[in-house]
Amino acid sequence: MAQIVSVFRQYCGSGFYPLIFIAALIWLLVTEKRKIVRIVLVDASLVILILFFLPPFKALMDVLDEGTYYRILWLLPMTVVIAYAGVRIFEKNRAAGCVVLLVLILSGDYVYDNINVTKAQNRYHIPNAVIAICNEIMPAEDEERVWAVFPEELIYYVRQYSSEIQMPYGREMLEPQWVWNWDTHPIYKVMREDTIDLDALAPLLNEYYCHYLILNRGIPVKGDFEENHLTLLTQIEAYDVYRNESVEIFKKAE
């Protein structure tokens, strides 16, 4: 039961909408007279809510898909029920309706203030730097796809732009909750250090046939680029793009 309450709390987060929904539901349970409204909005919501808080139901859902129990709450028409109750209040007293509106705004969280929302730099909604780097290292039409190692902040975006650029590891290295593969790739183990050791990295780049290395200029590097056959191709925003001369770019078979 504690787990279920925890899932519910996590769903509520910093807001009160689910609690406002429950209050609206109870009110509609008492006052709503129309049969279909009761069936679709009130009774169905009540049954889903009761099911959600039943531990055997949680156990069953975990068998089907563990870690997604919160999605049962998606079945509750929270928005419709709260808005409907709000209109019913508005209908009786317009000032009270406006208070409801204000309460909803103040008890909620403005979505566009979220840390993950930024001004789009282009229509791809991918950082310009990623697009410029990808264009720089993109194989020619008669060349095979290339492999490149990127700093972790760019990993999410690279292959959203082009399938021609491949990476020895991707997002699976960056998610600590994915314990089965997080932090397991040898190149990532070198790349995530505070100082990147080129002497350790270069042999791995060769072993994994990586043609390019992209480094964030803000992260210190130990070792000599030339000795490790890494040639600076270009600098794009905060990033240096290196060509690993030890790995050949192959032409496509005729």
Residues 180-209 that bind other proteins (CB under 8 A): none
Residue 21 C-beta: closest distance to other proteins, Å? 10
User: In a 3-state reduction of DSSP, which class is residue 147?
Assistant: strand
Task: Map 126-141 to HEC letters.
Answer: CCHHHHHHHHHHCCCC
Q: Is 44 in the site for other proteins (CB under 8 A)?
A: yes
Phi, psi angle pair for 121, to nearest 5°? -90, -20
Residue 226 C-beta: closest distance to other proteins, Å? 29
Structure tokens at 160: 């959203």
- Residue from 22, 73, 132, 138 touching other proteins (CB under 8 A): that is 73
> Which residues, in sequence order, are CB contacts of 62 under 8 Å at separation 6+?
69
- Is residue 165 within 8 A of residue 159, CB to CB? The reply is yes
Residue 231 C-beta: closest distance to other proteins, Å? 23
Q: Is 111 in the site for other proteins (CB under 8 A)?
A: yes
Q: Is 100 in the site for other proteins (CB under 8 A)?
A: yes
Per DSSP, 39 falls in state: I
Touching other proteins, residues 115-174 (CB under 8 A): 116-121, 123-126, 145, 147, 155-157, 159-172, 174
Residue 183 C-beta: closest distance to other proteins, Å? 14
Q: Is 177 in the site for other proteins (CB under 8 A)?
A: no
Strand partners, 149: 213
